[in-house]
Structure 1
Amino acid sequence: MNLNDIIAQLPYTKPFLFVDELLHADENGVIGTYTFDEKLDFYQGHFKNNPVTPGVILTETMAQIGMVCLGIFLLHNELKKDTVIAFTSADVQFLKPVYPNEKVTVSSQKTFFRFGKLKCEVVMKNEAGQEVCKGTLSGMITARL
C-alpha cells in the first residue's frame, strides 16, 4: 500500500488533519511527521503571548499518525464506506512543550491488534530528536452501527 494512499483514507481534513507525511509503514508500526503551523486557531488563546501546542492536540497527532494510519495500513483490504475509527483510550506523558512552527516526528509500535482493536506504544520527537511526549494509545476500527 502506498503511503500517500493511507493519508488519503484518513477521515480528517484541515484544520483537523495532523499528518503531513508518512515516512514508513509496516505491520508493526508507522513513522510520520507534522508541522504545527503558527496560524492554527488554538494558538490564539493557549497561552497569551506564549503559545504552546495543547496536550490534547499532541495526543490527537500521535493518534492520527501512530494509530489511525497504522490501522488503515493493517486493514486496507477490509475498509469500507461504513467504517468507523474510534479512539478508545490514551495514557500519555508530556515531557517538553511543542511551539508554533515546530515539526514533530511520530513513531508507533503495535503491541496488540485483534478483532479491529489496536493498541500502540507511540513516541513524538521534536526536530532535535528529543522526546516531547510518549504513551499508550488504543482504538478500534469497526462498521458504523
Structure 2
Amino acid sequence: MKSSEIVKYLPYQKPFLFVDEVIEISENGVIGNYTFQQNEFFYKGHFKDNPITPGVILTETMAQIGVVCLGIYLLKDKISISKKPQIALTSQQVDFYLPVLPNEKITVISTKEYFRFNKLMCKVQMMNAKNKLVCRGSISGMIVTK
C-alpha cells in the first residue's frame, strides 16, 4: 500500500481530518504532516484574540498520523473498500512543550512499540517547521476490520 492510498482509508473527513500527507511509512513507524489552517473551527474560541491549537487537537493529530495511518499500513492485507478499518483510542499520555499557531505546519514522527491482538502502541512526537519539539508521548489504539 502506497503512502498516498493510506489517507483514503482514514475514517475521518474535514473538519476533523488532520493528515495532509504521509511522507514515509514502514512496519516500524510513520512520518506525516499537517498544516493547521487559520480558518480551523477550533480557533474561533481558543483563545479569544490569541488563537492556539488546543492540546486535544494536537493529540488527535498525533493519533491520526502516528497510530491510525500506521495501523492501516500494518493491516493493509485485510483492508479494502468493503472492509474499512474501525479504530478506538485506548490510551494516551502526552507532554506539551510549545504552542502551535494558525498556519503552522507540523510533522509527526511515530515509532511502533508493539502491535499484537490488533492493539497498536506507538511513541509519537510532533515537531514544528523549525524542527522544535512541540509535544511527545505514547498513544495506543485498537484497529480492526469489519
Preserved CA contact (<8 Å) 2:31 2:108: yes
Alignment partner of 1:135 is 2:141: no
Distance in 1, matches of 2:13 and 2:85, equals 17
Distance in 2, matches of 1:37 and 1:71, equals 26
CA RMSD of aligned residues (A): 1.0
Amino acid at match of 1:58: L
TM-score if structure 2 supplies the norm length?
A: 0.95
Length, aligned pairs only: 144
Q: How does 1:54-133 map to 2 (within 5 A)?
A: 54-79=54-79, 81=83, 83-133=85-135
TM-fit CA distance, 1:83: 3.5
Gaps of 5+ in 2: none
**Deviations, residues 31-67 of structure 1 (Å, cap 9, x unaligned):** 0000000101110000010000000000000000000
Distance in 2, matches of 1:102 and 1:82, equals 31
Gaps of 5+ in 1: none
Partner residue of 2:8? 8
Distance in 1, matches of 2:131 and 2:84, equals 38
Amino acid at match of 2:56: V
Distance in 2, matches of 1:82 and 1:52, equals 33
**Structure 2 CA distance for partners of 1:79 and 1:15, relative to 1, 3 Å:** same
Distance in 1, matches of 2:7 and 2:102, equals 23
Runs of 4+ with deviation above 4 angstroms: none
Amino acid at match of 1:122: V
TM-fit CA distance, 1:121: 0.1
Distance in 2, matches of 1:22 and 1:108, equals 11
Any idea what SS the aligned residue of 1:42 has?
A: helix
TM-score if structure 1 supplies the norm length?
A: 0.96
